[in-house]
Structure 1
Amino acid sequence: MSGYLLLNQAYAQQKPPAEQELQQVQSQIKKTEQQLRQQRRQLQQAEQKLQQADQALADASLKVRQTSTRKQQLEQESAKLTLQQQQLQQQLAEQQQLLAAQLKSAYSMGQHDYSRLLLNQQDTGQLERILTYYQYFNQARMRQLAKINQTVQDLELVVAKLAEQQRLLQRELQALEQQQQQLTVARASQQDSIKQLQALLTEQGNQLSYLRQNEGSLQNTINELRRLAELSKDMAGLGAGKGKYPWPVKGQLLQRFGQNRQGGMPARGILIKGVNGSNVQAITEGRVIYADWLKGYGWVIVLDHGAGFMSLYGHNQTLLKQPGDRVTAGEAIALVGASGGQADAGLYFEIREKGEAVNPLLWLARP
């Protein structure tokens, strides 16, 4: 009996090859699933870091633009005050010359011996004329002195305002320098996040899957926006200007419509090389119906032009408009950047007709 038990134990320890292979497969499946979960977590972390870096860069860029605009306004105000100061100084010099001329005339009249004329009662008409002249010159001198005093006071106010403007300008310049440093740090952080994401995608071999996810995310967003776009009855669409619209940015065409992107997916728009921080302009009038960060496309702004037409601007550094804003043709709506995972600065541009992507080059004027 004891020998039978030992035989069963030995059999149990030596499982059939099929069972051993099954266990190995199951173990490998679990290991693979763990690796996939880890890869997904790494990819999500990389995407979150990229979004945070894009957000920091967008905030810094917007602050730089606002401070630069404020600096320009202060410089214009300072220039106006400087011109006003010069004009007041010129007025003061003219008033002083006029007062000197009046004093010279009064001195000349004084040569007639005013006291002797008062005692001389023979020519009362001449006396009355002299008194009138003296009264006129005295009043003129008083008015001129009042003008000079007022001009001096105005000049002092302008000089004080100019000094205050210069102080504010200096403060804005210091803030601008600090923001430029923050912008540099944010841009470096963004580039590091982009490299990390691209390296991770290359390592995992998920470029195609990633692009498909991004494309699906964009298409879902466009489908949601179509309902909003159909509400615009006051705009005529893009049909009338086909082939004549200005480019949203001036630059080299890096990717054409339909051209295979990395991973083999056809492009639904075009990619235009741009300069970091330069203006992205609306191709024509429209209404902002989307302005937010979108996976794979970074900071995206979408304009509704009516009649089912929309234009989309992606990979921006920062957005200058909000949903609901009306924009005019050529108005700056964003700044060129490399958000959403781009290695270099550029603008991704699409035109959609009733939700379907169309070739933008057929609508834009020849460069």
Structure 2
Amino acid sequence: MWQLPAHAQQKPGAEKELQQVQQEIKQTEQQLRQQRRQLQQAEKTLQQADKALAEAALKVRQTTLRKQQLEQESTRLDTQQKQLQQQLTEQQTLLAAQLKSAYSMGQHDYSRLLLNQQDTGKLERVLTYYQYFNQARMQQLATINQTVQDLEQVVAKLAAQQNLITRELNALEQQQQQLTQARASQQESISELQALLAKQGNQLTYLRQNESSLQDTINELRRLAELSKDMAGLGAGKGKFPWPLKGSLLQRFGQSRQGANASRGILIQGINGANVQAIADGRVIYADWLKGYGWVIVLDHGAGFMSLYGHNQTLLKQPGDRINAGEAIALVGASGGQADPGLYFEIREKGEAVNPLLWLNRP
């Protein structure tokens, strides 16, 4: 019987195998697209959680400051109330002494002198004397009345302040609850993102993408920073600048992050809500959420120097704000996918990362 050549017999099998490979490639591409969508959704959810947490933390800070101001004003009014009360007591004592003195001089003599006008000189002296006492009494009474009115106003203001403090405390309690819920949502989003990255095996790629995104941002900021001509930079204070946050060093400059590129900054352990302070005078040139680094604020110090503060809970300053050394610019947090609160800190000189530990004073 005539048979097909061997290569002709193999062709249908090869075509079938090719179709299977093409189908597997198609399925793999579909899985990759689905994974990208899941990752993008996880990143979006994390960003939303970070934003909700930042807003809640900022409200708590503002209400806390407002409450402190009200308490200070309440203390001032309370002191003023005590002073006015003391003045009133002194004025009443003085008036009582004046009345007693007038009585002891003898109202009877005054009455007899009016009826008996033989000694006109003495009459004039007594009239002058009583006129003086009457004027003194009237003045003292007017002073007492004014003090009483002032005291009533202070008491009313104090009561109003206490009501305001009570309302602020109630608002603060509600905001603290919102803050707790926002933190829980953030931690849930972080866990979801980390689990997804681990499942997909994309942790290293994700970190490298984050570093690339940060570098692109820094390059753009460097261009903006070159416009600053009125600041001297950081060169003169090398090794003397204060730490932006007091805490343990979790990651050093140049240390590898889970197999990714060497870190261009340091990671300092912190407590949620603690102040992040500017290391030197500067101007805010960036204040926004950045993938992988959360809420980031960047200061331009002039002469090509910039400092970067990341993973914040919320930002306290806006682009264009002038900043003094030691001023609070953000609150410590764990935004951008961090499991624990801390501060990521960089110093850049003409766009290149330098070791911050060489610029900061020894803790």
TM-score (norm 2): 0.96
**Number of equivalent positions:** 359
Return the alpha-carbon distance in structure 1 between the equivalents of residues 107 and 286 of structure 2: 86
- Comparing 325-334 and 257-266, the one that deviates more: 257-266
Please name the residue that 1:3 is paired with. none
Task: Give runs of aligned pairs for residues 79-94 of structure 1, distance below 5 A.
Answer: 79-94=75-90
1:311 to 307, 311, 316: 307
Shift of 1:314: 0.1
Alignment RMSD, CA only?
Answer: 1.6
Shift of 1:299: 0.1
Identity fraction in percent: 84
Shift of 1:15: 5.9
Deviation readout 1:107-165 (Å, 9 max, x if unpaired): 01225521211233332221111111100111111111111111111111100010000
1:52 maps to a residue whose letter is: Q
Aligned: 1:269 with 2:265: yes
Deviation readout 1:218-273 (Å, 9 max, x if unpaired): 01101111111001111111000000000000000000000010233210100000
Q: Which runs of 5+ in 1 are unaligned?
A: 1-6
Aligned: 1:287 with 2:276: no
Please name the residue that 2:343 is paired with. 347
1:360 maps to a residue whose letter is: P
Aligned: 1:220 with 2:196: no
Shift of 1:17: 2.2
Q: Secondary structure at the match of 1:16?
A: helix
1:153 maps to a residue whose letter is: Q
The answer to whether the Cα contact below 8 Å between 2:207 and 2:260 also exists between their aligned partners in 1 is: no
Please name the residue that 2:179 is paired with. 183
Please name the residue that 2:70 is paired with. 74
1:174 to 163, 170, 176: 170
2:104 maps to a residue whose letter is: S
- Comparing 185-194 and 260-269, the one that deviates more: 260-269
The answer to whether the Cα contact below 8 Å between 2:208 and 2:260 also exists between their aligned partners in 1 is: no
Return the alpha-carbon distance in structure 1 between the equivalents of residues 257 and 90 of structure 2: 73
The answer to whether the Cα contact below 8 Å between 2:267 and 2:345 also exists between their aligned partners in 1 is: yes
The answer to whether the Cα contact below 8 Å between 1:211 and 1:263 also exists between their aligned partners in 2 is: no
Please name the residue that 1:143 is paired with. 139
Q: Secondary structure at the match of 1:113?
A: helix
The answer to whether the Cα contact below 8 Å between 1:274 and 1:345 also exists between their aligned partners in 2 is: yes
Please name the residue that 1:202 is paired with. 198
1:49 to 45, 49, 54: 45
Please name the residue that 1:33 is paired with. 29
2:244 to 214, 225, 248: 248
Aligned: 1:329 with 2:338: no
Please name the residue that 1:278 is paired with. 274
Return the alpha-carbon distance in structure 1 between the equivalents of residues 33 and 202 of structure 2: 14
TM-score (norm 1): 0.95
- Comparing 317-326 and 13-22, the one that deviates more: 13-22
Q: Secondary structure at the match of 2:331?
A: strand
Return the alpha-carbon distance in structure 1 between the equivalents of residues 121 and 11 of structure 2: 148
Return the alpha-carbon distance in structure 2 between the equivalents of residues 42 and 308 of structure 1: 39
2:226 maps to a residue whose letter is: E
Q: Secondary structure at the match of 1:231?
A: coil
Return the alpha-carbon distance in structure 2 between the equivalents of residues 186 and 143 of structure 1: 63
2:120 to 119, 124, 127: 124
Return the alpha-carbon distance in structure 2 between the equivalents of residues 220 and 92 of structure 1: 70
Q: Secondary structure at the match of 2:154?
A: helix
Return the alpha-carbon distance in structure 2 between the equivalents of residues 319 and 164 of structure 1: 32
Deviation readout 1:44-82 (Å, 9 max, x if unpaired): 000000000000000000000000000000000100100
